[in-house]
Amino acid sequence: PVHTSPSPFEPRPSEGINHANVVAMLAARVRRSGSTTALRHRAAGSWRALTWAQWWNRSRALAAGLVEQLGVQ
């Protein structure tokens, strides 16, 4: 049997279109959810969590290094 939806599909815009760029989108998320987990990754055999605030700080450090060491603008 063919499944029909009771209503037509209506795409919802993602949060990203409300911000000028990715940096602004990340900054808004950090303000809302800074202490909550953003990412998990494996390190030394166990899972580690990274909060939104930590991701923000590491991203800024990476960007600063790119500017300082490579002249990226």
Could you report the per-residue pLDDT of 46-61, keeping only the tens digit for each?
Answer: 999 999 999 999 999 9
Confidence of residue 22 (pLDDT cuts 50, 70, 90): confident
Q: Which of 37, 72, 42, 69 is nearest to 55 (CA)?
A: 37
Name the residue with tokens 């000028």. Answer: 20
Is the overall model pTM greater than 0.85, yes or no?
A: no
Helices (H) and strands (E) in the chain, counts: 2, 2
Longest dimension (CA), the chain: 61
9: its two tokens: 């599909």
